[in-house]
Amino acid sequence: MITELLNFLNIRKSPLLQDEQLVVDIITKMISDPETILMVAPVSGKYYMEHKRLKYVVVISSETIKLTNLEWNFTFRIPYNEIAKLVNLVTIRIEEDRLVMETKMDMNEIAILTKISGSLNL
């Protein structure tokens, strides 16, 4: 019964297959590459990664990972626990990017407010 449930949930205790490990490695490298743009679609729960220079696109859902460059397309069904790890890495990177963006916005805001205040000195 437990084996059937684990299979249904796509959870595997054994090591990843070679192609699965390569996909995990590719995604991990893309996450750490600053040229990769990461996005999340909150309604569908899908995570998107796009490397503009290399033209690779990855879509991570709860069940599959799609890897394409618009000339070829692969879909992999990787164990859920591995997908969860990748989603966590994507989320961390998105939060890091958000923090950088907000810091830049705050610095710009202070500069503009200082300029406005200075222009009002008579």
pTM beyond 0.85: the answer is no
Q: Which amino acid appears at position 53 of this protein?
A: R
Per-residue pLDDT of the chain (122 residues; tens, 9 = 90+): 444 444 544 555 678 889 999 999 999 999 999 999 999 999 999 999 999 999 999 999 999 999 999 899 999 998 888 999 999 999 999 999 999 999 888 888 888 889 899 899 86
- Report the pLDDT value the prediction gives residue 3, as an integer from 0 to 100: 44
- Report the pLDDT value the prediction gives residue 8, as an integer from 0 to 100: 46
CA 3 to chain centre: 30
Rounded-to-integer distance, Cα 113 and Cα 118, Å: 8
For the chain, give the longest Cα–Cα distance.
81
